[in-house]
């Protein structure tokens, strides 16, 4: 199992170095904007698996200490709990149910649908590029990691997001030879993808770990320089994931690596474990960010420092103030490019991907904190939204501001309780099954057998939940002309005994207004199974629904 970077200690953040003035608009990137310069990049682990997902690793990869046993409070490798409501496929754990009674399930990165969801989020929230972490691929995890590269490529291509390979050399004793073979025989082939990141016309590759002053990365400067120069000879633009104190060559940096650091096209100093508060972030602005940027600019090297949300379990996040202060400091220094540490690092708790927003969405008795741990309510996508706004500020699309413009909760956005939940139906025609109504795709749809009313469509919410509003849609294309369907709503807590929640109602779908119809119940009903009964359709002799959304209010 690859060793993560979580073990690094804060390396003299309060070193007492005199403050420096911000470079502001005088700072200029060595390279013109490309797929990494002037962009927001996220580190992407993609290293979670579950039994039954088909992954060669065949276990609870990175979810549990013992991969052969289901995750539980006594067998956990993560410190934060993901919000899994958007994932089409999840896997039941040995944790107790969530606070809302729903099963405690986790996602697998090996499912293509999971990677597609992650890259759809990246596109939605303004993230430009993903750096796929690649640890030593010669061991037992190698086949799973090889497959993950293909899954990331597919998702990046379909979602219009860039990606590149980021080699982490931790505990990779034969790295010097192996990394060249891996690139030549396997990973280099991915540069043919239209989604593979390029900078200055060259495919991007990152090597993380050269020069760190620890036993996990004992490589000497000659071996490291050989690898950097080899990749450059292959025509690559090479990023160095380097120690925090690369410029001064002390503390977390081995001495004698200056030549290696200066050989990279871009430097991305590590920051996780170094800062944990707004005060720490301000100190690093003075002692690291500003002088680092000046050094890189003087040498024609691009600069991509880290921005991190903070550990959930360490209560560092301060409902976004900690992360936003870093964005602000990068903006006032004139930093053009940032690396977010990380997208899906639930092991360290530094993830920006959707996370349990309250104890309602955390397994009972697990001890996990949620995003509201400091008393401020935060939506599960808050740090994705914060990242998007931070990126826009660095690109000049938002004014530079020390006050985060991103509210933790956006007008209490309603949660679609039906998204990706199990469905059933009275019938369907051709490939238009009921699962299409909860897949989040407005263009896919369910259509019942024709000329055979009544027909029904049902969704299982997973637990008895308060329901007040149901939204139905048809595909938005104008070819779906205006029509009215007659629909009644029934509910059940056990899937056997159903009661009427709303009498038969005419629902009009008009493409001019989004082909959407809303059914509001007379009062909030506690139900697990929502069943819709269709008895008429003026536009086609069948029941038809593109999206079935169920809301508590």
347 and 463 fall within a common domain: no
Total domain count, the chain: 2
Q: Are strands 91-92 and 105-106 parallel, antiparallel or unpaired?
A: antiparallel
Q: Domain with 547 in it: what CATH number?
A: 2.60.120.260
Q: How far is CA 222 from the centre of its chain?
A: 36
pLDDT at 17: 28
Instruction: Examine residue 240 and state whether it is found in any structural domain, yes or no.
Output: yes
422: tokens are 């199990």
Task: Look at residue 10 and tell me whether its pLDDT is greater than 70.
Answer: no
Task: Look at residue 82 and tell me whether its pLDDT is greater than 80.
Answer: yes
Structural domain containing residue 516: 423-551
207: tokens are 């090597």
Give residue 512's pLDDT band: very low, low, confident or very high (50, 70, 90). confident
245: tokens are 């104190």
226 and 291 fall within a common domain: yes
| pTM for the whole structure | 0.75
Give residue 3's pLDDT band: very low, low, confident or very high (50, 70, 90). very low
385 and 431 fall within a common domain: no
pLDDT at 13: 30
Give residue 2's pLDDT band: very low, low, confident or very high (50, 70, 90). very low
3-state helix, strand, coil in the chain (%, to 5): 25, 25, 50
Q: How far is CA 175 from the centre of its chain?
A: 29
**What are the φ/ψ torsions at residue 168 (nearest 5 degrees)?**
-105, 115
pLDDT at 20: 35
CB 167 within 8 A of CB 77: no
SS3 per-residue string spanning 154-174: HHHHHHCCEEEEEEECCCCCC
Instruction: Examine residue 349 and state whether it is found in any structural domain, yes or no.
Output: yes
Distances (CA, A) of 358 to 80, 310, 369: 11, 17, 8
269 and 217 fall within a common domain: yes
List 363's β-bridge partners, or say none. Answer: 98
- pLDDT > 70 in the chain, percent: 94
Instruction: Examine residue 363 and state whether it is found in any structural domain, yes or no.
Output: yes
Instruction: Examine residue 161 and state whether it is found in any structural domain, yes or no.
Output: yes
pLDDT at 30: 86
309 and 438 fall within a common domain: no
278 and 327 fall within a common domain: yes
pLDDT at 25: 41
Query: Among residues 374, 394, 414, which one ends one of the domains?
Result: 394
CA gap 195, 409 in Å, rounded: 32
Instruction: Examine residue 170 and state whether it is found in any structural domain, yes or no.
Output: yes
Q: Sign (positive/negative) of CA torsion 127, 37, 43, 187? A: positive
332 and 285 fall within a common domain: yes
458 and 532 fall within a common domain: yes
196 and 89 fall within a common domain: yes
CA gap 448, 457 in Å, rounded: 9
Tell me which residue has tokens 């008009």.
510
Instruction: Examine residue 416 and state whether it is found in any structural domain, yes or no.
Output: no
pLDDT in tens, 417-470: 999 999 999 999 999 999 999 998 999 999 999 999 999 999 999 888 889 999
Q: Domain with 361 in it: what CATH number?
A: 3.20.20.80
pLDDT in tens, 368-413: 999 999 999 999 999 999 999 999 999 999 999 999 999 999 768 6
290 and 432 fall within a common domain: no
138 and 255 fall within a common domain: yes
Give residue 18's pLDDT band: very low, low, confident or very high (50, 70, 90). very low
**What are the φ/ψ torsions at residue 22 (nearest 5 degrees)?**
-65, 150
| Residue 388: how many other CB atoms lie within 10 Å | 20
pLDDT at 19: 33
pLDDT at 223: 97
Task: Look at residue 320 and tell me whether its pLDDT is greater than 80.
Answer: yes
CB 228 within 8 A of CB 238: yes
20 and 162 fall within a common domain: yes
Of 180, 167, 176, 181, residue with least CA distance to 136: 167
271: tokens are 């920051």
Task: Look at residue 126 and tell me whether its pLDDT is greater than 70.
Answer: yes
Task: Look at residue 336 and tell me whether its pLDDT is greater than 80.
Answer: yes
Query: Mean per-residue pLDDT for 180-197?
Result: 98
| Contacting residues for 16 by C-beta, under 8 A, at least 6 apart | none
pLDDT in tens, 264-292: 999 999 999 999 999 999 999 999 999 99
pLDDT at 210: 98
List 132's β-bridge partners, or say none. Answer: 44, 165
Across all residues in the chain, what is the average pLDDT?
92
Lowest mean pLDDT among 15-29, 50-64, 381-395: 15-29
Task: Look at residue 12 and tell me whether its pLDDT is greater than 90.
Answer: no
Instruction: Examine residue 403 and state whether it is found in any structural domain, yes or no.
Output: no
Orientation of helix 142-159 relative to helix 112-124, angle to 10°: 40
Query: Among residues 378, 394, 410, which one ends one of the domains?
Result: 394
pLDDT at 411: 67
Query: Mean per-residue pLDDT for 203-209?
Result: 98
pLDDT in tens, 493-505: 999 999 999 999 9
pLDDT at 425: 98
CA gap 456, 446 in Å, rounded: 11
**What are the φ/ψ torsions at residue 228 (nearest 5 degrees)?**
-60, -50
Instruction: Examine residue 418 and state whether it is found in any structural domain, yes or no.
Output: no
Q: Are strands 266-269 and 237-242 parallel, antiparallel or unpaired?
A: parallel
- pLDDT > 90 in the chain, percent: 87
List 131's β-bridge partners, or say none. Answer: 43, 164
Query: In sequence order, which ranges of 108-257 are alpha helices (DSSP H)?
Result: 112-124, 142-159, 175-185, 221-233
Q: Mapping DSSP to helix (H, G, I), strand (E, B) and coil, where does residue 475 land?
A: coil
């Amino acid at each position: 199992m690859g060793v993560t970077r979580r073990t690094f200690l804060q390396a003299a953040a309060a070193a007492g170095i005199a403050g420096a003035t911000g470079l502001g608009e005088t700072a200029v990137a060595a390279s013109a904007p490309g797929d990494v310069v002037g962009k927001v990049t996220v580190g992407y682990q993609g290293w979670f698996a579950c039994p039954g997902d088909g992954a060669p690793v065949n276990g609870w990869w990175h979810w549990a200490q013992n991969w052969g046993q289901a995750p539980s409070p006594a067998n956990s490798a993560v410190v934060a709990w993901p919000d899994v409501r958007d994932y089409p496929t999840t896997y039941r754990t040995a944790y107790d149910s969530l606070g809302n009674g729903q099963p405690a399930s986790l996602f697998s990165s090996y499912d293509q649908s999971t990677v597609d969801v992650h890259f759809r989020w990246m596109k939605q929230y303004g993230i430009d590029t993903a750096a796929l972490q690649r640890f030593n691929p010669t061991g037992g995890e190698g086949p799973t990691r090889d497959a993950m590269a293909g899954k990331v490529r597919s998702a990046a291509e379909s979602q219009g997001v860039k990606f590149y390979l980021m080699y982490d050399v931790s505990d990779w004793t034969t790295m010097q030879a192996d990394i060249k073979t891996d690139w030549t025989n396997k990973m280099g082939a991915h540069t043919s993808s239209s989604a593979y990141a390029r900078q200055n016309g060259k495919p991007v590759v990152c090597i993380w770990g050269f020069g760190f002053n620890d036993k996990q990365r004992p490589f000497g400067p000659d071996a490291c320089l050989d690898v950097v120069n080899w990749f450059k000879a292959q025509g690559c633009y090479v990023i160095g994931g380097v120690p925090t104190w690369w410029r001064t060559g002390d503390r977390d940096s081995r001495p004698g690596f200056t030549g290696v650091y200066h050989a990279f096209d871009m430097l991305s100093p590590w920051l996780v474990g170094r800062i944990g508060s707004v005060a720490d972030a301000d100190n690093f602005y003075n002692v690291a960010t500003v002088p680092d940027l000046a050094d890189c600019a003087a040498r024609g090297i691009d600069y991509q420092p880290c921005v991190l949300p903070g550990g959930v379990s360490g209560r560092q996040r301060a409902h976004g103030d900690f992360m936003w202060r870093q964005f602000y400091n990068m903006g006032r220094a004139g930093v053009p490019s940032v690396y977010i540490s990380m997208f899906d690092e639930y092991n360290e708790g530094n993830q920006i991907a959707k996370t349990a927003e309250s104890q309602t969405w955390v397994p009972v008795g697990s001890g996990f904190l949620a995003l509201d741990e400091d008393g401020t309510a935060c939506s599960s996508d808050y740090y994705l939204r914060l990242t998007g706004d931070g990126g826009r500020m660095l690109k000049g699309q938002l004014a530079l501001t020390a006050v985060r413009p991103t509210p933790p909760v956006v007008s209490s956005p309603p949660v679609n309780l039906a998204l990706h939940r199990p469905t059933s139906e009275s019938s369907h025609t051709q490939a238009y099954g009921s699962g299409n109504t909860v897949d989040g795709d407005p263009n896919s749809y369910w259509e019942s057998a024709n000329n055979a009313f009544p027909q029904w469509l049902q969704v299982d919410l997973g637990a008895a939940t308060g329901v007040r509003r149901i939204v139905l849609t048809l595909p938005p294309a104008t070819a779906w002309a205006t029509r009215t369907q007659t629909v009644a709503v029934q509910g059940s807590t056990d899937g056997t005994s159903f009661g009427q929640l709303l009498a038969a109602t005419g629902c009009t779908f008009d493409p001019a207004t989004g082909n959407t119809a809303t059914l509001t119940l007379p009062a909030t009903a506690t139900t697990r199974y929502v069943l819709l009964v269709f008895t008429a359709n003026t536009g086609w002799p069948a029941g038809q629904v593109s999206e079935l959304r169920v809301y508590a209010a």
